[in-house]
Structure 1
Amino acid sequence: MKKTTILIFLLSFLVGCSNDLTPLDENVKQTASIQTNQLDPYLQKQNDTWIDRMVLEQNSHFSFRVKARENEDYVIFVLESDHSYRLALLKEGEDQGLVEEDIEVFFPDESLVLSRSFQPEQFLVFMQADQTGLNMAELFYVADGRIEWITKNTKLFFSDTNIKLIKENTFQTVSYNGDEWKFTTWELKNNKLHDIDATLYNNTHDPYGLLKGEYWFEIWNETPEMFLAYQDLELTKGWIAVAAMGQMVGSPVAIGDSKQKLVEELGQPFEEGYYEGGPYFGYSNFMFIFDEAEKITHIAMNGNRIKKTLNEVKEIVGKPDKEGFNEMTEEVFFQYTVGNYLLKFNANPHDGMVVDVWVYER
């Protein structure tokens, strides 16, 4: 991928509109002298640069439409400025657009625009390849009549075009450097991105690590609704009491509930098949197995949600009733008998990390 190759994702309502490029000259810029009754108060900022709609349309490299967080319609114009590009924001129905002088981006080719729609938030993601072949993403959103620069102080790097919004204000990226796959989960708080979890797949502690990373990436890349589970739960001794009721911590359904109820709660699965003698539905965080009556018999949770080793499980939950090695899956396990149910932790034998957690009837 060449250094100048840029991919732009507009994560909501993106419509590209191409124009012949005419460099924007200083003499066409119009610095605002606008009365308060002409525009909303939040647009009254000293030294802002405003440009007439017609001038924007004639001189923009290209433009696209976007929904602001207030669900208002805007047009963003891409304007050439020396060796980079500036963004101008025009509210639908207004005669002048605001140039965001503090935002600078590098993407010369509208033909590389792709579109994705995510709700409830609307984000702009501009992606540019660096010298190492990784992409750098710049994230923006529109609110209160301005373009907010989320990644001004925090840069995202990943391979190919691997970024997705997995839930409100939470992104996930994937990078690969030849020796390791890295899935990073980011959370947007106070207009800043924070990396809240990272899962690595390499051959350092697991001879199949790279293959596992590639497997998960292929599913992640081909399935828009799928994301790699990340640490969002705390393992406690209380998990025993929950399992004794035929439930799994974090699951909206329990053993014995119907497939219909599951779909009502979690929607359609991204994966279906057969496992342990029954059909299953696969989701990012869970897998559910059904009997012939379409009742849930097994619940499995991705171990990434707790990120614990079996030794840590023993310290927190207590001594298991059974320890062993599953030759079919090549995993070690701890098993707890809890009333009419079993709570089972399967782990990678190479590093002891929990792979998944199961609840099912004895």
Structure 2
Amino acid sequence: MRNLFAATPLTLFLAMGMPGLVEVRAGETPTVPKAEAVPESVLQNPAGPSVVETRRAIVAVPQQDATPGIYEAVVSGDAELVDKLLRSGISAQFVTPSGDTPLCLALRNSRPDIAINLVLHGADPNTPGLGKHTPVALASLRRHPTLLQILLEAGGDPNKSFGNPASNEFLTLVPDGYLRSEMKREHRVTPLMAASARGDVEAVTLLLKHGADKDIATQPRYRYALNFAADRRYLYVMRLLLGRSPETEPHILITVNLREQKAKLEVEGKLVLQTKISTGRQGYETPAGRYVITNKYKDWTSTIYKVPMPYFLRLNCGAIGLHSGYVTGRPASHGCIRLPHEMAKKFYSMTTVGDEVIIEH
């Protein structure tokens, strides 16, 4: 049996967090009573690893990451011990030899309570941890608006991207399969992109409020936060990214009926325009669903078919949209919704990016 609690700085800090072991007053030098011995089997080598005895368990930390007690306490997941160490004056800001921080560790371990306490005690919200992922980036993977807000208000950079390349170990922490696949092939994925890909309205709102740049693009495919939201058809998030206020603005809705080959435009539920149309013919059927107008082009030429598409209203950053074209009242296009020329001009003039389009059978 060996006594792990020799008089070292670490054991003094631990003793301060254990009621009944020692009481420390300002100006006094603490004394450490004899602690319980720990079985030899707990030790990993003759020199002994760094070990923290918490109220719940004994957690061994690899010797290569022998760090101050605050990191080891976060490893153990003991929020009460972390709090007592912080209150005793231990710095919340520390970088391990392997490049990790207590704050990033708490975030990876899904311990928002510990992470918030660390930030409130001075942990830097911009110091990256393992994999060069920053605290704000890690927080954008979880739905915890209070934590994200605290990080941002403490000065966290909303535009610092995730570290690259993303390791397989890190990708196991990403809760969304679509986002995982994007992180595998794209660099410069930002917290705003991650929140948009998950449809996290609160996170997107907070990030935009604190200066997140929606015009940052990934590499190599130059994808924006709007593309991430559009792929998942998160209409509310798309509208936020397009600068709209979905809760307060007048509601403009375009409805396309594939069976009747008609389209109508309503403002606050009142019918304003209605016209016959031509949608995608067999083999190029126009897909039903809910969309948002993401781009408007008065003069546009199809990049696929090299034909003019005046007054083009692009839907969900995709290849289809509404535009002026030859209309028969029957399916005839390669997937877009053709409108009579004068009607296309009116639809174009009365809509704004962010307006909703419903395509139904």
Taking structure 2 as the reference length, what is the TM-score of the superposition?
0.31
Query: Greater share of strand residues, 1 or 2?
Result: 1
Q: Taking CA–CA contacts closer than 8 Å with sequence separation of 6 or more, which of the two structures ends up with the larger relative contact order?
A: 1
By percentage of residues, which structure has more helix? 2
